[in-house]
Chain A
Amino acid sequence: GQQVMQIPQYQHVQEGEDFTTYCNSSTTLSNIQWYKQRPGGHPVFLIQLVKSGEVKKQKRLTFQFGEAKKNSSLHITATQTTDVGTYFCAGPGGGGSNYKLTFGKGTLLTVNP
């Protein structure tokens, strides 16, 4: 079945350093989505990428979708304490259904002020 893998599992940075998390799917994806979950909170949708090679930016966050549509990355420039949380990628499909998402296990980002 479809698998979505994320690395690293944990990342601790000093405030101001950059951060990147990587997402790899075992199958080609029609789109990839990114979510953020603050400690004690619920996942919140950040963005969806659809096109091969697509790059989107949200302020200090840069999202990329690979040319083969099997991998993606999230890069945060100059981290701030407000960036703390777990970042999940998710792709459609898995188990023969396109009605659901398969989530990666997430990357927990902690930021030392």
Chain B
Amino acid sequence: NAGVTQTPKFRVLKTGQSMTLLCAQDMNHEYMYWYRQDPGMGLRLIHYSVGEGTTAKGEVPDGYNVSRLKKQNFLLGLESAAPSQTSVYFCASSSQGASEQYFGPGTRLTVT
């Protein structure tokens, strides 16, 4: 099992460009999460999903959109990237709400 995978691993965008980050899990987990991690700020929840076809806002959702069309995939979109979105993005999944979470390796995004 690959666990949780994320693509791409690194990306540089110019301000105003758009992109989609892909998260995939092969553990048949219902719950999936997108976090961003900035120095000194810990892990902040962007959006999450409690099942296929559902999404919900987290702590810092502005500027991001998500979709969960298939149970195993959770996509994070940036429609118009801003320098403030420079961060490391982690996807995670869990079998039950607020139980042990399995994290992907992360995507390092730089917006210039």
- Contact B45–A9 (Cβ < 8 Å): no
B81-112, CB under 8 A of A: which get 1 and which 0?
A: 00000000010100001111111111000000
Name the prevailing secondary structure of the A interface residues: loop
Contact-residue size bin, chain B (C-beta under 8 Å from the other chain)? 20 to 34
CB A110 to nearest CB in B, in angstroms, measures 15
Of chain A, the residue at the smallest CB distance from B90 is: A42
Query: 8 Å CB contacts to A: which residues of B17-38?
Result: 31, 33, 35
- Separation in Å of the A23 CB from the closest CB of chain B? 12
Are the C-beta atoms of B98 and A42 separated by less than 8 Å?
Answer: no
Q: Are A105 and B42 in contact (CB under 8 A)?
A: yes
Count contacts on A: residues with CB < 8 A to the other chain. Answer: 26
Interface contact B58-A99, CB-CB below 8 Å = no
Interface residue B50 (Cβ < 8 Å from any Cβ of A): yes
- Say whether B98 contacts A98, CB under 8 Å: yes
Q: What residues on B are CB-neighbors of A66 within 8 Å?
A: none
Binding site for A on B (CB under 8 A): 31, 33, 35, 40-45, 48, 50, 56, 58-59, 90, 92, 97-106
Sort A-B residue pairs by CB-CB distance and give the 9 closest, nearest first: A92-B98, A99-B97, A105-B42, A42-B103, A103-B43, A45-B100, A43-B103, A99-B50, A103-B42
Known: A95-B59, A100-B33. 10 other contacts (CB 8 A): A33-B100, A42-B103, A42-B106, A43-B90, A43-B92, A45-B101, A92-B97, A98-B97, A99-B98, A100-B58
